[in-house]
Structure 1
Amino acid sequence: MRCPKCQHENTLEAKFCEECAATLAPTCGNCGSPVSSTAKFCSQCGHPLQPVADDTRFASPRSYTPQHLAEKILTSRAALEGERKQVTVLFADIKGSMELLADRDAEAAQTLLFDPVLERMIEAVHRYEGTVHRVLGDGIMALFGAPLAVEDHAVRACYAGLRMQETVTRYAEEVQRSQGVQVAIRVGVNSGEIVVRTIGNDLHMDYTVVGQTVHLASRMEQMAKPGSVLTTADTLRLAEGYLAMEPLGPVPVKGLANPVQIYEVTGAGAARTRLQAAAGRGLTRFVGRGVQLDQLLRAQRLAGHGRGQVVAIIGEAGVGKSRLVHEFLYSHQTADWLVLESNSASYGRATPYLPVIELLRRYFKVNVDDSTQSIREKISDRILTLDPALHVSLPPLLDLLDALDDEHPFRSLDPIYHRQYTYQAVTRLLLSETRAQPVVAVVEDLHWNDALTLGLLNELVVATQNVRLLLVVNYRPEYRDEWRDLPNYHQLRLDPLASESLADLLQALLGSNPSLTTLKSFLVERASGNPFFVEEIVRSLVDTGVLEGVRGRYGLAKPFLSFDVPPTVRSVLAARIDALPPGEKRVLEEAAVIGHDVPFTVLHAIRGLTEDRLRSLLDNLQAAEFLYATQIFPDLQYSFKHSLTHDVTYSGVLHERRRDIHARVVDAIEQLYTDRLGEQVERLAHHAMRGEKREKAVHYLWQAGGKAVARSALSDARTWFEQALGVLDALPRSRAALEQAFEIRLELRRVLRQLGEGRTMLECLREAEALAEWLEDDRRRGQVYALRTTVHSTLDELDEALVTGTRALEIAERLGDLRLRIVATSHLEQVYYYRGEYRHVFDNLAALPAGGVHEYFGMAALPSVFGRAYSIMSLAELGRFAEAAQYAAEAIQIAEPTQHVFTIGWAYFAASMLHLVKGDWAKALSQVEHWIAMLRTANVAMHLPWAVPASAWVLAQLGEAGEALNRVREGAQLLEHQAARGIVGHRGWAYGAVGRACLLLGRLDEARRLTDCSVESARRQPGSTAHALRLLGDIASHPDRFDAESAAAHYREALALAQLHGMRPLVAQCHLGLGKLYRRIGETEHARENLTTATTMYRDLEMGSWLDQGEAHMAKSGDMQPPVRSPSKSSTSGDIRSP
């Protein structure tokens, strides 16, 4: 059952419309009996039921749509059908229409009461260039912004609502006097999105509602009191400043879960232009237009000396034309000038001379509530005072301001003479004024002006050459004036703001909060230098809670994950797009589907036009500044001038048509680039996915992910692989599809590892394991077990890691799979390293067969480098430095030629650890800084939480305090971020490194806090725990925190763990710490014993820098100081024993 009010199709049993809640089963308004939807009178009581619509006057939209608008819609019908539109919907009806029919002939009532009201409703809609979608017996439904887009649809709809209330109220007063009947209407307005499906020859439009757009407009009408206009917050956001609105609070609306904030539109606001609306909120900083302002001032000086000037400011919507005029007019330079302003309206073509009338109203100081007599007096007094000879201009001027007597002969003049005298009157008035004082006259937005206004301006421009008049106009690039050959005419082109100026604007709008750095860069890129777009995007981000604070002091309240073009910006751009001829619009839409960059050959292949015709259409789009040629060789390519124009054009194309174009683009690229498909793989993946060519989409997405991995573009790779898996999920379940899904998950796992996404990686592998089980594939099960091993170890799940690694090795041995054996062994080395089983690590590597050095075997880094890395670090912990150095040289030699940052990173990480353990600080610094620079260049973040702390330690050790402190802060932040993601890995060691740096820098509180984090992070890693305990001993031994008992206990614990796991360099360090401690408290024998052990071990291990320290302390031990008592103990010598 179709709703008679909003045309929504409901189920047959529905009693109320699901969309607008209108009653579907009508009842008699007098007795309440059910009646037929076609009955004119109640069968039970004879009461009239509904107005009788005039079939000829309101039969179809064509019958009541103005001819010029009907022709425009029909001409562009093919380009308008099947598009998404941002619109404002207006419902209006006569309140109590059934009661008005009581005791009256239905047809007479229709003629005397209903038709005149409907006519006034329709007139108000058409005055603001809306479309009456349907006449509903006692009311109408109208659309603003569809089928033709307009940039201020919400403002127009509200103005139309106010006008129909005004005109109907005047008519109702007449009816009240003549008929004794009270007539009132109610109006509801709401803004949102609809999809235009088809437009018939009679202009009837089928549409699909998106969300609650129409329903809410209908509910607003039903909730409105007679004589009022109600609207919603969605409309308010678009019309803010243009209208006076009274908030009525949140109100429950039938069919919606949450209350809706509603407003009553009480009148027009103070603003008539976008700049005036912005001024109400506070204008932003004026930036980047100093040169243009100087040009205006230069023209003003010439005009002031009697050399009249005309300046046309040309620029796209939102680029700042009106703001430039505003800054000029309100500068001190115009203090002694008569300033006359007029603003055009987007619907102004329907009203002849609208800008001229506004200019004259300001000149004569005519107010809205002035009587006709008052207007006549103001005009007569001023012009006769200025120049009595102007009395001949009175009739045209009075006529323009609607103050001329209806019977005056001027009103019956032939249109040609009427126009001529009007032009002369306005021109004479302004020229006469220039003899009294210099005049600057401003007429904005010529692209919206009516023909009569433009003709008058042509007359005025010719007359300005030798008078003190500066005429300033502005318009958009699609408009062309006729004054280019005049010597006193100047064009002032406003290009988009340069990036530096846009950055200044963003600084003024947002402030300097560090959290906004990425957002600012995004806005500079997306807004394409348009200040209006920037301001509206920022407003939208504030409204949606992404930004919090006040202008100039905003902060990021939540992650900035996605971006929707604000409705205000979308409306401006959509109106420009809809103004294109159908041929150009179709080309622009297909270009938008191809992408921001548009190869001519691809567009030609899918468009089906001759090359000459397509080039002609593209030339027109370039002239209108939608596209521009960005490349000529080797292939011609166009690009969208603005990213937002591309976004709005693309979003306006319906899904079905988009899908078809995307699919055709895939076919075109495959045919055009047969020998170079690898270059086009990302584009093919994009279009195949959106064209729903699913098998091809999987293929190209997978390839694109692999290509991104090779470039170390890890986030891109992740996106490609995840999209491929999403497409696979939509395919029928088959063995081939499941095998693809398995392999892609393994590729994704490599990327997630490099991104440090441990938990996500584990989930990915569990999904792969389920696929291997379904496929009953032992080799794949082994692969998953091997890969799970490294994930579990990274997450500090070392027991699980040992189980999965062992299972993987068992499967490899059973299948004789060398590849799987290498991968499983490599990951088990990591597990053994974390468990402190350093000898086992090295033995595992030594047991592997030679060969396959340069093969990845599905790992994120070369196994040959990954395995050597853990052997290097293990040998260093064992004190086998020469062997570790040999493996380090091999690892770097293997890794460097790959140019694969993750692989190279492992080689440098291990080499750095070798030098750190040994105490070769200069070598360590060289390795670490090279490692960090490489990671930052390639944007590989996973190793930074280890590299930066290592750098902090080395720099502090070498006395570079300032740089060391910077690295300490960065390293601590990186580790906190890593901890939040649940990744452990080397985190315990890294916290110890920044803790060590803090100790060397004398920041003892930070050192203790970070070392506690190290102990907590390394609970299951005895080697890292031992290092952290030794550091706690060093902190407790510091003169400013001296606690002998605590220091000795920490050294003993560290020493016990180091001895248990064969960590000879750390054993020596613990003896050095104990020796220094005993020397400080005066226990000479214990001091010498530990220092002797330390120096002997340093000598054996060839740890030169540490040997120097040990020998220095040995030398001092011969001259012992008196015992130093622990602050917390009366005596400590008896409590401390040498191990």
Structure 2
Amino acid sequence: MVALICPRCRTRNQEGRRFCGRCGARLARLCPACRFANGAEDRFCGGCGAALAPDAAPAAEAAPARYTPAHLARKILDSRAALEGERKQVTVLFADLKSSMELLAERDPEEARAVLDPVLERMMDAVHRYEGTVNQVLGDGIMALFGAPVAHEDHALRACYAALAMQESVRRYAEEVRRARGVPVRIRVGLHSGEVVVRSIGNDLHMDYTAVGQTTHLAARMEQAAEPGTIRLTADTLTLVEGRVEVKHLGPVAVKGLAEPVETFVLVGVGPMRSRLQAAAARGLSRFVGRERELATLAAALEAAARGRGCGIALVGDPGVGKSRIVHEFVSREAARGWLVLEGAAVAHGRGTPYFPIVDLLRGYFGLRPGDGRERVREVVTRRVLGLDPALVTSLTPVLALLDAAGEESGWHDLDPGQRRQQTLLAIQRLAVRESRAQPLLVILQDLQWADSETLAVLDGMLDGLPSVRALMLLTWRPEHRPPWTPRPYLTEVHVEPLGPGSAGALLHALLGEDASLAALTRLLVERTQGNPFFIEESVRTLAEMGVLEGSPGAYRLARPLPEVHVPPTVHAVLASRIDRLGPEDKWLLQCAAVIGVDVPLSLLTAIAGAPEDEVRQSLERLRAAGFLDEARLFPTTEYAFRHALIHDVAYQSLLHERRRTLHAAIAAAIADRHAGSLDEHVERLAHHALRGELWDDALRYLRRAGLKAAAHSAHREAAARFEAALACARHLPESAELLGQVADLRLELRNALFIVGELPRMFEHLAAAETLADRLGDRARLGRVTAALTNSLWAVGEARRALDAGRRTLTLAEALGDEALAAVGHQYLGQAHHALGQYEPAIDHLRRAVGALEGEVSRLRLGMAGPPAVFSRTWLVWCLAERGEFDEAQRRVAETLEIAAASEQLYSAAQAHFAAGMLAMFQGQLADAVAAFEQSRSLCEAGNLRLTLSMTEVALGHAYALMGWSAEALAVLERATARCDAEHFRYPQCLGQIWTAEVLAGAGRTEEARRLAAEARDRARAMEARGLEARATRMLADVQAAAGDDTAAGGSYAEAIAVAGGLGMRPFAARCRLDLGRLHARSGRRQAAREALTAALEAFRALGMKHWVERAERALAATAD
């Protein structure tokens, strides 16, 4: 079947189509003789009349094997087994001859072909020079990929260089054509970087791939938008090469098929920066931390070399670990002053160029510029070499030959390769030795993992002569690419390790700043980057570009909730290239390990790898030596771990979804088989792999068990996530009564978790769904649990009246079922609802019934609720008893709830129990005890992310602080807790928090703010029919009125609060209102009324045993004496 290539978007279409299946453009068939664009159904060419045979049809491009150089073909075929079925980060290049159809239609076919073919050849030569792959020849242009199938970490840079090279080559050729034929020839090029899926690679090198998103589409659009003679690229490509190429910003451009415009740039030329470090330096280098050991080693070597004992230091470390930065900092220091520093570096795309790093070093030594011609080079080199020592005249020709400036008369090219190599080596050695006599020499050659064999031979010879000269050779390479040199005592390898947590944290603080919102992000980045400075810097840069961080470098703040940190494209390119260079067996094992997780048990890896254990161990040893994995544990079982979380991510992402799914399913089966007797210990891992393996039934079961386990350990947000994932699995399963029951239970369990973490609005959708399912199943027991949970949920959002209705339904169902546990839960929640309404007597009755049913062993059971009802029923009973002044029973109940909570070993229960203790102490006036209990409860809430209990606890804690006289602390806690209650829709403590905040504001003289807040609180209390809160808000308004000097209104409000409190049986609160009223009368000169109110308050306080308030009342009463 012949493929038709769309002239607009370059999509391959099957023969027989008239229009492109991707963009809708009319398809053309290019004549093989003259390249004229014919209609899809034409049988003869409209340009030359030639027959258009189906097998010679238009854009059926020649197989890539015909135009791919042999060395590249071998690389592709050697690696195809490891590349097929993978996701790859690539840069796509499209190039075509502008207006070629018009050019070719007006010319004789042979003449047209003679013009066009050299253009295509130059395009392909440029691509192949930088080890790109020409995947399609499109008649008048090409499509090429960089990064697949031959992997390169600098795929974007190679694509840019290839684009520049082909423009320059075609530009020179165009001048010849213009002079000879009068024909204008100009090409346009488009570049974009993104992801493709490599599906298969044929023996003819044709690669079947699928673009992810708009990868190829955008590259084609860039080409079509480019002006003739220019190169256009997207921001995604520029991000990978920034600082290393020169561009002109064009701004956003609308692209068909995309909702948002695309930022585009014109590629102008090669930039001044040749390395990542130089590009980073142009932006501003980050803080240099944690390399004291390496610098000390270099300083000692420099001192020895200065005394004539030349030596070498090799910095060996993973990419991004900071080798080049160490070199930069060392050279910049005072100790290197007075040394002649010669620097060169190998580059990935220069590996096929002999002596590339040496030439780089020599050009720097002689001060040569990129545009210098041969004559200029000969002049500069001759003057410098002979000026150093005329005896070096024999070294001139080899040095000039390296710089491509040796004349024909030198006879250099008449020598055989061995002679040229020997003379080159001697010339470099003599030049270095002579220069070192004039001044000490610091020779720096970096990235030798990319050095060619000729360069390594030169360096080997230079190392031989080191001990007798004043020179230090400073080399860098990656650990997996050790040069083939004989070890020498004066060449020391220094292994550069990632930064430790302290240094990594210091670097992040310098990059991010000290804003409190960054604490969690800093910890996450330290963990994920494992101290690799390049990974750290690029991660921060990417987060800033994504808008997750706002501000400026060193002064950022978190703008959005902490996201999942993805691998930055620059880091991805480095790591993907390293992984692709592994042998097929090692790469497959690494990918299998990545599917298992960051931590990799050997037994599990062997089970899924499909290879004998001894072969797996050998492969693991190679991966360990190459820096991908570490041996994390030997006992009781062998376990490996990824050295970097980012390596894990890149290896995992390279696999197609189907391969991942199959491996996850196999891992789940292996875990279940090996740990059949202890599944709960491994249930989280089982749930993870079953879910990603799409084993929906198993995943639902494991996720639910994992959620219950998380809830039992007070990890409620994690529990909620597990339950939600389990619900998603249920949607993939066929409906059955059993499944519907499981889903109903899952929704109830999810409701419990959401309640605890304060996501109240989301609870109701799950309760409604659970109720529907229970009705469908006719399951009254489940329906009872739903109505009980609904009672509690309605109470929380301030709908206590509706909560009473739901609670009564619960009791009716419990009675019909004879379910005492359900009845106990119903009584507890009805007690909460009555408490919220200020109906303390019926609340106490319900709560005593619940407590009576929850004695002994049953007191420790959760009964389907978020925690043991025995704790919560006693907590609310304590509060109700305290409101009525029944402190003796309340004290017994506090002791009971603390004991039950301790036995439950659950943070939620313990936090509730300490809250109850604090409320009783505060009502009694034992303020130090109250503060201690509330602070303990707060700590437990923070440890377990118990947001609702935390909000309620902090409201009470703030009031206790205020009663202690700590106004500033009280206000800060109350405002924070009240705002949180508002965000959570937790209405009862929100209203109470407003009342107590108003009290602090009034005491601080902020009367108007206090009045507004107290009035708002009273309105809210009345809307909720919360009579107890209404009494408190009314008393607060009285305080504000008194502070404003309106004694009449204040007296009326105090009287109203006393009346409401008395009707509700709130004896301690009524006594406090009488104390305030007495003080008001005393201040107004109404001494008798004051004494009556204060006497009544004092008698009540004494009767209730409230010593703190007895003392206050006695002092106030004494002040009214004659």
Q: For residue 563 of structure 1, what is the amino acid of its counterpart?
A: V
Count of residues in Structure 1 that have an aligned counterpart in Structure 2: 1112
Q: Which residue of 1082, 1099, 1106 maps to 1:1079?
A: 1082
Corresponding residue number in structure 2 for 1:85: 88
Q: How does 1:307-346 map to 2 (within 5 A)?
A: 307-346=309-348
Corresponding residue number in structure 2 for 1:392: 394
Secondary structure at the aligned position of 2:348 is classed as coil
Q: For residue 472 of structure 1, what is the amino acid of its counterpart?
A: L
- 1:1103/1:668 CA distance change after superposition, 3 Å: same
Q: Deviations over 1:817-843 (max 9, x none)?
A: 323222222111110000000000111
Quick check: 2:10–2:220 contact (8 Å CA) kept in 1? no
- 1:135/1:862 CA distance change after superposition, 3 Å: same
- The Cα of 1:977 is off from its aligned counterpart by 2.1
Quick check: 1:945–1:971 contact (8 Å CA) kept in 2? no
Identity percentage of aligned residues: 46
Q: Which residue of 114, 117, 138 maps to 2:116?
A: 114
Bigger mean CA deviation after superposition, 126-135 or 927-936:
927-936
Q: Deviations over 1:25-55 (max 9, x none)?
A: 4599999996347867217x74999999999
Corresponding residue number in structure 1 for 2:283: 281
- 1:405/1:239 CA distance change after superposition, 3 Å: same
- 1:1005/1:901 CA distance change after superposition, 3 Å: farther
- The Cα of 1:787 is off from its aligned counterpart by 0.8
Q: Which residue of 726, 730, 733 maps to 1:731?
A: 733
- The Cα of 1:610 is off from its aligned counterpart by 1.2
Q: Deviations over 1:984-1016 (max 9, x none)?
A: 132322444455556667776776676556445
Corresponding residue number in structure 2 for 1:1027: 1032
Corresponding residue number in structure 2 for 1:188: 190
Quick check: 1:751–1:860 contact (8 Å CA) kept in 2? yes
Corresponding residue number in structure 1 for 2:676: 674
Q: Which residue of 296, 299, 313 maps to 1:297?
A: 299
Q: How does 1:249-268 map to 2 (within 5 A)?
A: 249-268=251-270
Separation in 1, partners of 2:626, 2:140: 44
Separation in 1, partners of 2:809, 2:58: 83
Q: Deviations over 1:778-837 (max 9, x none)?
A: 332222121111111110012221221222222222333323222222111110000000
TM-score by length of 2: 0.95
Q: For residue 290 of structure 1, what is the amino acid of its counterpart?
A: E
Bigger mean CA deviation after superposition, 50-59 or 1068-1077:
50-59
Corresponding residue number in structure 2 for 1:1132: none
Corresponding residue number in structure 2 for 1:509: 511
Secondary structure at the aligned position of 1:241 is classed as coil
Q: How does 1:644-1043 map to 2 (within 5 A)?
A: 644-848=646-850, 850-851=853-854, 852-958=858-964, 961=966, 965-966=968-969, 968-996=971-999, 1011=1014, 1014-1015=1017-1018, 1017-1019=1020-1022, 1020=1024, 1021-1037=1026-1042, 1042-1043=1045-1046
Corresponding residue number in structure 2 for 1:164: 166
Quick check: 2:4–2:28 contact (8 Å CA) kept in 1? no
Corresponding residue number in structure 1 for 2:1098: 1095
Separation in 2, partners of 1:53, 1:249: 43
1:99 matched to 2:102: yes
Q: Which residue of 55, 61, 65 maps to 2:64?
A: 61
Quick check: 1:51–1:138 contact (8 Å CA) kept in 2? no
Quick check: 1:299–1:470 contact (8 Å CA) kept in 2? yes
Bigger mean CA deviation after superposition, 622-631 or 485-494:
485-494
Quick check: 2:61–2:138 contact (8 Å CA) kept in 1? no
Secondary structure at the aligned position of 2:191 is classed as strand
Q: Which residue of 45, 49, 57 maps to 1:41?
A: 45
Bigger mean CA deviation after superposition, 712-721 or 176-185:
176-185
- 1:440/1:219 CA distance change after superposition, 3 Å: same
Corresponding residue number in structure 2 for 1:634: 636
Bigger mean CA deviation after superposition, 130-139 or 453-462:
130-139
Quick check: 1:988–1:1016 contact (8 Å CA) kept in 2? no
- The Cα of 1:345 is off from its aligned counterpart by 1.2
5+ residue gaps, structure 1 = 1120-1139
Secondary structure at the aligned position of 2:281 is classed as helix
- 1:513/1:189 CA distance change after superposition, 3 Å: same
1:431 matched to 2:437: no
- The Cα of 1:96 is off from its aligned counterpart by 2.4
1:1112 matched to 2:1118: no
- The Cα of 1:9 is off from its aligned counterpart by 5.5
Quick check: 2:35–2:104 contact (8 Å CA) kept in 1? no
Q: Deviations over 1:1035-1079 (max 9, x none)?
A: 5445xx544234323312321220121111111111111101101
Separation in 1, partners of 2:34, 2:594: 57
Quick check: 2:92–2:216 contact (8 Å CA) kept in 1? yes
Quick check: 1:598–1:639 contact (8 Å CA) kept in 2? yes
- The Cα of 1:332 is off from its aligned counterpart by 2.8
Q: For residue 82 of structure 2, what is the amino acid of its counterpart?
A: A
Corresponding residue number in structure 1 for 2:525: 523
Separation in 2, partners of 1:283, 1:1031: 58
Quick check: 2:955–2:978 contact (8 Å CA) kept in 1? no
Quick check: 2:981–2:989 contact (8 Å CA) kept in 1? no
Secondary structure at the aligned position of 1:271 is classed as coil
Bigger mean CA deviation after superposition, 661-670 or 282-291:
282-291
Separation in 2, partners of 1:166, 1:449: 26
Corresponding residue number in structure 2 for 1:4: 5
1:580 matched to 2:585: no
Quick check: 1:698–1:724 contact (8 Å CA) kept in 2? yes
Separation in 2, partners of 1:1070, 1:1052: 8
Corresponding residue number in structure 1 for 2:444: 442
Quick check: 1:349–1:448 contact (8 Å CA) kept in 2? yes
- 1:724/1:1076 CA distance change after superposition, 3 Å: same
1:200 matched to 2:205: no
Q: For residue 934 of structure 1, what is the amino acid of its counterpart?
A: L
- 1:371/1:57 CA distance change after superposition, 3 Å: farther
Q: Deviations over 1:433-463 (max 9, x none)?
A: 1111111111110001111111111111111
Secondary structure at the aligned position of 1:675 is classed as coil
Secondary structure at the aligned position of 2:351 is classed as helix
Corresponding residue number in structure 1 for 2:557: 555
Quick check: 1:60–1:202 contact (8 Å CA) kept in 2? yes
Separation in 2, partners of 1:186, 1:734: 62
- 1:255/1:13 CA distance change after superposition, 3 Å: farther
Separation in 2, partners of 1:31, 1:325: 55
Corresponding residue number in structure 2 for 1:1135: none
- The Cα of 1:151 is off from its aligned counterpart by 1.3
Secondary structure at the aligned position of 2:775 is classed as helix
- 1:317/1:1072 CA distance change after superposition, 3 Å: same
Quick check: 2:707–2:722 contact (8 Å CA) kept in 1? yes
- The Cα of 1:331 is off from its aligned counterpart by 2.3
Q: Deviations over 1:227-267 (max 9, x none)?
A: 11111111111111111111222222233333322211111
Separation in 2, partners of 1:827, 1:872: 14
Separation in 2, partners of 1:910, 1:689: 41
Corresponding residue number in structure 1 for 2:603: 601
Q: How does 1:135-150 map to 2 (within 5 A)?
A: 135-150=137-152
Q: Deviations over 1:74-104 (max 9, x none)?
A: 2222211111111100011122222333454
Quick check: 1:483–1:489 contact (8 Å CA) kept in 2? no
Separation in 1, partners of 2:1020, 2:909: 25
Quick check: 1:51–1:107 contact (8 Å CA) kept in 2? no
Corresponding residue number in structure 1 for 2:362: 360
**What's the RMSD between the two structures over aligned residues?**
2.6
- The Cα of 1:937 is off from its aligned counterpart by 3.4
- 1:1079/1:225 CA distance change after superposition, 3 Å: same
Separation in 2, partners of 1:9, 1:421: 53
Separation in 1, partners of 2:925, 2:358: 85
5+ residue gaps, structure 2 = none
Corresponding residue number in structure 2 for 1:1123: none
Q: For residue 5 of structure 2, what is the amino acid of its counterpart?
A: P
